[in-house]
Amino acid sequence: MQANRPGEIIRFLLECQALKFGDFTLKSGAKSPFFIDLGNVRTGRQLDVLGEFMAEAIRDRFPETTIIFGPAYKGIALAVSAATSYWRLSGRDLGLIFDRKEAKAHGEGGSYIGTQPTASDRVLIIDDVLTSGLTKREGIDSLRRSFGVASADILVVVDRRSKSGAATDDLQFSSLLDIHALSEYLAETGDTRAELIQKWWETA
């Protein structure tokens, strides 16, 4: 399985119903002809397949990673599957950390669970989608405040930004799939929704 084959990833997301086409209203209130819901990747086999895609991307794009951070909530399962698959793929045992939506005052307490980074660690944030980049920047800022992490990279499954979407020049960022790859795949397979996706990218 090669993580640089968008068609395989798209077919997988369709199989899991994690990629849907229709008339959707996003959290921002904007309209979209497609919707990404990685919460539908919800079985052991499905998470294993997605984990392999992400592990190959880590190997090829972020080889200096020492710790994977999965933001609550969807990022947690993605980070676990990526870390497990990366161990199987490379033999490198990466640390794993995730956060709580609300800090815990009892027991071990705190806002984070797992391997605590140091300033020398290279942290990779793994999440489902990139829309504005705001939550990713907030995650990086929190890691810096909490652990003194100098920098963090970002890997998402889908970069769903439109042409006018937020810039990510300040982020070390990569995705398994973006809108161009989705539109090209649909066009290659004779799916008329390719034009709809391309038009959305240009005008949204």
**Of 31, 104, 163, 180, catalytic:** 104
Q: Is 106 a catalytic residue?
A: yes
Does residue 199 have an active-site annotation?
Answer: no
The alpha carbon of 38 is separated from its chain's Cα centroid by a whole number of angstroms, namely 9
* Catalytic position from the list 20, 27, 31, 106: 106
Q: How far apart are CA 141 and CA 111, in angstroms?
A: 14
Q: Do 72 and 99 contact (CB within 8 A), yes or no?
A: yes
Q: What secondary structure does DSSP assign to the chain, as a single string? A: --TT-HHHHHHHHHHTT-EEEEEEE-TTS-EEEEEE-GGG--SHHHHHHHHHHHHHHHHHH-TT--EEEE-TTHHHHHHHHHHHHHHHHHS---EEEEEEEEEE-STT-EEEEEPPP-TT--EEEEEEEESSSHHHHHHHHHHHHHH----EEEEEEEE---TTSPP-TTSEEEEEEEHHHHHHHHHHTT-THHHHHHHHHHH-
Which of the residues are catalytic? 104, 106
